[in-house]
C-alpha cells in the first residue's frame, strides 16, 4: 500500500529528487509459536526535503517499521533501498557502516551517556567514522550551537532539563550530516513548551538533502509533518 499525504501547518516544499528511502512489499514475521506478522506488504518512499509522521495504535507495527527503515532489523520479505541501493543481504558490518554514515536516530528516552558532557555525547557517532579528536570536538560544538545549546557544551545530562537533553540527542543525531533522520516518539517525555521547541527544531532540519521521519502518538507532530503514514495491524496507508 502507498502512503497518503496530510497537509502540514508549516510544510516544506518536497523536492522531486529520488527517494532517500524506499520499501517495496516489505513484511516482517516473528516466529512463534504463535508467529506474529508485525508488518504486511508495506510499500512507501521518503524523499529529501520532507518530514513524514508515522502514527497508529500501540502494537500496530510502528516500531518494527522504524527499525526496518533504520536498518536495525531486516524484513522477512520485500526490498529496502537506501539512496536507491538495495540493502537486503548486506552483512552486519556493512549495515553498521550505512547507519553510521547515512542515518541519525532520536529516541524518546534520549539515550545520552550520563557521565559524558554534551560535547562528548554529541561526538560519539564520529568516533565510529574515525574522525580525529579535534574534528570531532569542532563538529560537536557546531551541532550543539545549531540546536541552541552553545552555552551548555560541558553540561552533563543529569544537570539538564528534558528538553535540553532531547536537543543534545538531536545534535548527536545530525552531527555526521545524515540524509535520513529517524525519530521515535521524540516528544513523548516532554511538556508542551519543550514539545513546541523540539518540533520547530525538527522542522528546521528538513532541508533539501535530508528527510525526517517521526513515529508519534502526538497530534501536534502529525500537524507539523508534510505527510502522515498510518499503520494498523502491520499495514501502512
Residue 11 cell numbers, joined: 510544510
pTM score over 0.95: no
Question: How many Cα neighbours within 13 Å face the side chain of 113?
Answer: 12
Residue 122 cell numbers, joined: 554529541
- 212 has which bridge partners? 51, 181
The count of domains in the chain is 1
Strand 77-82 relative to strand 85-86, pairing? antiparallel
The DSSP symbol for 15 reads: P
Per-residue pLDDT of the chain (237 residues; tens, 9 = 90+): 334 333 343 334 444 579 999 999 999 999 978 999 999 999 999 999 999 999 999 999 999 999 999 999 999 999 999 999 999 999 999 999 999 999 999 999 999 999 999 999 999 999 888 899 999 999 999 999 999 999 999 999 999 999 999 999 999 999 999 999 999 999 999 999 999 999 999 999 999 999 999 999 999 999 999 999 999 999 999
Q: Is 156 helix (H, G, I), strand (E, B) or coil?
A: coil
Rounded Cα gap, residues 97 and 29, in angstroms: 26
Domain residue limits at 156: 4-236
Q: Write the CA distances from 207 to 114, 211, 235, integer angstroms.
A: 31, 7, 29
Q: Examine residue 34 and say whether the peptide bond preceding it is cis (omega within 30 degrees of 0).
A: yes
Q: Examine residue 33 and say whether the peptide bond preceding it is cis (omega within 30 degrees of 0).
A: yes
| CATH number reported for the structural domain that contains residue 164 in this entry | 3.40.50.300
Amino acid at each position: 500500500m502507498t502512503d497518503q499525504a496530510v497537509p502540514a501547518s508549516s510544510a516544506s516544499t518536497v523536492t522531486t529528487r529520488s527517494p532517500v528511502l524506499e520499501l517495496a512489499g516489505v513484511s516482517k514475521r516473528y516466529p512463534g509459536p504463535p508467529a506474529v506478522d508485525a508488518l504486511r506488504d508495506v510499500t512507501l518512499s521518503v524523499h529529501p526535503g520532507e518530514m513524514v509522521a508515522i502514527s497508529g495504535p500501540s502494537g500496530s507495527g510502528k516500531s518494527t517499521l522504524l527499525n526496518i527503515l533504520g536498518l536495525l532489523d531486516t524484513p522477512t520479505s520485500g526490498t529496502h533501498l537506501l539512496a536507491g541501493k538495495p540493502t537486503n543481504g548486506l552483512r552486519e558490518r556493512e549495515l553498521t557502516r550505512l547507519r553510521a554514515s547515512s542515518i541519525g536516530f532520536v529516541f524518546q528516552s534520549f539515550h545520552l551517556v550520563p557521565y559524558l558532557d554534551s560535547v562528548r555525547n554529541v561526538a560519539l557517532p564520529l568516533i565510529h567514522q574515525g574522525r580525529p579528536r579535534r574534528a570531532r570536538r569542532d563538529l560537536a560544538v557546531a551541532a550543539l550551537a545549531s540546536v541552541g545549546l552553545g552555552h551548555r557544551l560541558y553540561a552533563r545530562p543529569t544537570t539538564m532539563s528534558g528538553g535540553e537533553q532531547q536537543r543534545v540527542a538531536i545534535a548527536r543525531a545530525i552531527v555526521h550530516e545524515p540524509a535520513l533522520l529517524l525519530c521515535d516518539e521524540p516528544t513523548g517525555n516532554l511538556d508542551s513548551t519543550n514539545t513546541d521547541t523540539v518540533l520547530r527544531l525538527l522542522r528546521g532540519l528538513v532541508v533539501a538533502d535530508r528527510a525526517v521521519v517521526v513515529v508519534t502518538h502526538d497530534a501536534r507532530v502529525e500537524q507539523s509533518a508534510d505527510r502522515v503514514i498510518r499503520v494498523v495491524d502491520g499495514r501502512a496507508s
